[in-house]
Chains A and B, each alone.
Chain A
Amino acid sequence: MTRRSGTAVLVAWLTLVWVGLWGSVTAANVLGGLAVALVLVRVLRPSPAGAPAVVSPPALLRFVLRFLVDLVVSSLQVARLAVGRRVELRSGIVSVQVPGASDTLLTVLADAITLTPGTLTVEVDASTATLYVHALDVGEGPEGVQRLRASLREQARAVVRAMGTAEARSHPTPLGRTGDRRREGQP
């Protein structure tokens, strides 16, 4: 998606919301919404977040379907924990890095992580493209943390495939092999 088409999508979405709020599709509503959207985009100049995203419809569809399934699974999981007997949970906060991710991509990924089973984004460091994720249960020992990080990275890869920037796509191993900043010795 180029900068121009990004703005076009935004205008279309704002117009859609406007028409939805009025509740009926009439010429006046559509034109009014279009006018308001254009004024808003012109006045507020929302900065297109970083490099243009490359949207891949099939990957996006797969991601959305996967996301809906995850949402159901995570709701059931929380339901079981809420209704069942108290279990000892080993919760923790794990970091995962997404090199080359734009702000938009990080936002979508953070949202997806929050709504999928057992994980919740608590902090985002946009400068290093790192998400800090709270997990209800990290499992036993360092292997558990590694497994968790691997599944988070898989999720990030799905988002990159669906709507990543060219840079994020071209990253040799989209999220590195070890993703853990301490291991990679970065500041």
Chain B
Amino acid sequence: MTAVFAVCFAGLAVAALLVLVRLLLGPSVPDRIVSLDTLLQVVVAGVAIAAARTRSGEFLAVLLAVSLLGFLGTVVVARFVERRGA
């Protein structure tokens, strides 16, 4: 199982780096919101896999909070962009 977790974390790290590339390149604000949203999903995936590794539910509350707050943030920024323009 150790190798599986290593591969999972490495894969997620690469995914996060790729998402960062789009976050930096933009070019528009919606592009960056999409990137941040995806980055957050990668973080949630990472925490879930970390929980699976230790088999303990310590961080699961964090996971729930992060995933819901992320949604809230996305909606708020999207509404903001809609009114103010990219």
Contacts and interface: CB of A to CB of B under 8 A. Distances in A.
In the complex, is A directly touching B at CB under 8 Å?
A: yes
Interface of A: 21, 23
B57 A21 contact: no
Q: Chain B contact residues (Cβ within 8 angstroms of A): what range? A: under 10
B72 interface: no
Interface string B64-78: 100000000000000
4 contacts: A21-B61, A21-B64, A23-B57, A23-B60
A158 to B, nearest CB: 26
A115 B40 CA distance: 19
Contacts of B61: 21
Contacts of A23: 57, 60
Nearest to B60: A23
A23 B58 CA distance: 11
Contacts of A21: 61, 64
Contacts of B60: 23
A21 B57 CA distance: 11
Contacts of B57: 23
A135 B64 CA distance: 32
A157 to B, nearest CB: 29
A14 to B, nearest CB: 14
A21 B61 CA distance: 8
Interface in B48-69: 57, 60-61, 64
A69 B13 CA distance: 28
A110 to B, nearest CB: 15
